[in-house]
């Protein structure tokens, strides 16, 4: 038995094409594109907030020495941290900055969940497409009972379609979905660590309103 025994283009087209079409029908195009782009993140390490926390400490020292306006000239790659620092430069308070970071973190979680759900949907569709291929092969087999060679080819399509569907679901789509969810949970936990130091920096650097001094007429006359 050679590896070519398990290769059949008709079964591959039914399962692969059917799974892709099902994903396109059930998933918005933006989420589907995000799911494909997420593949490049799989080999990376889990997100860690330590480099960003160190950068926040450095920015805190810069603000203490040179003022808040000096933060506007710093280079910040991470979009959430950049947004938080921009709000601090604009004079926003700690609670406002913390709310913005929480909103961004929830939005990021939703995007990651949408990408993982797209792959989970493919994992659900692939076995069904394998069953469709099996039915197509059986129909082809019963309609060509007089040709033994055609019967064998149709039976190969029927069996290999089921095999391909199981492989795509359990060795490709579902593992990708599981790893994306695990990476999203880790990143959400790490990004939550940014809220407290940024909110503290915002509270420290927020401009304080100076209460107007009221002059009493009685005091003026006494003077």
Complete DSSP assignment for 131-197: HHHHHHHHHHHHTTTT-HHHHHHHHHHHHHHHHHHHHHIIIIIHHHHHHHHHHHHHHHHHHHTTHHH
Q: pLDDT, tens digit, for every residue of 103-131?
A: 999 999 999 999 999 999 999 999 999 99
Give the HSE-up count for residue 88: Cα atoms under 13 Å, Cβ half-sphere: 32
Contact 195, 101 (CB under 8 A): yes
Q: Hey, where are the domains in the chain?
A: 3-39+46-207
pLDDT band for position 209 (cuts 50, 70, 90): very low
211 pLDDT above the threshold of 50 = no
DSSP character at residue 213: P
Looking up tokens 């039915």 gives 135
């Amino acid at each position: 038995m050679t590896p070519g025994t398990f290769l059949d283009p008709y079964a591959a087209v039914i399962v692969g094409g059917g799974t892709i079409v099902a994903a396109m029908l059930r998933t918005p195009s933006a989420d589907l594109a995000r799911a494909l782009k997420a593949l490049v993140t799989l080999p990376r390490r889990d997100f860690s907030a330590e480099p960003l926390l160190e950068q926040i400490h450095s920015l805190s020292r810069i603000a203490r020495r040179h003022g808040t306006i000096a933060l506007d000239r710093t280079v910040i790659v991470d979009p959430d941290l950049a947004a938080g620092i921009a709000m601090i430069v604009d004079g926003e308070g700690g609670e406002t900055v913390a709310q913005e970071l929480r909103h961004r973190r929830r939005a990021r979680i939703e995007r990651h969940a949408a990408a993982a759900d797209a792959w989970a949907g493919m994992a659900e569709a692939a076995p069904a497409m394998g069953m469709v291929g099996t039915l197509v092969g059986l129909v082809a087999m019963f309609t060509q009972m007089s040709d033994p060679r055609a019967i064998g080819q149709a039976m190969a399509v029927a069996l290999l379609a089921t095999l391909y569907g199981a492989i795509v679901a359990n060795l490709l789509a579902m593992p990708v979905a599981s790893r994306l969810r695990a990476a999203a949970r880790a990143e959400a936990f790490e990004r939550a660590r940014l809220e407290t130091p940024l909110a503290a920096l915002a509270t420290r650097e927020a401009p304080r309103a100076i209460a107007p001094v009221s002059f009493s007429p009685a005091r003026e006359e006494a003077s």
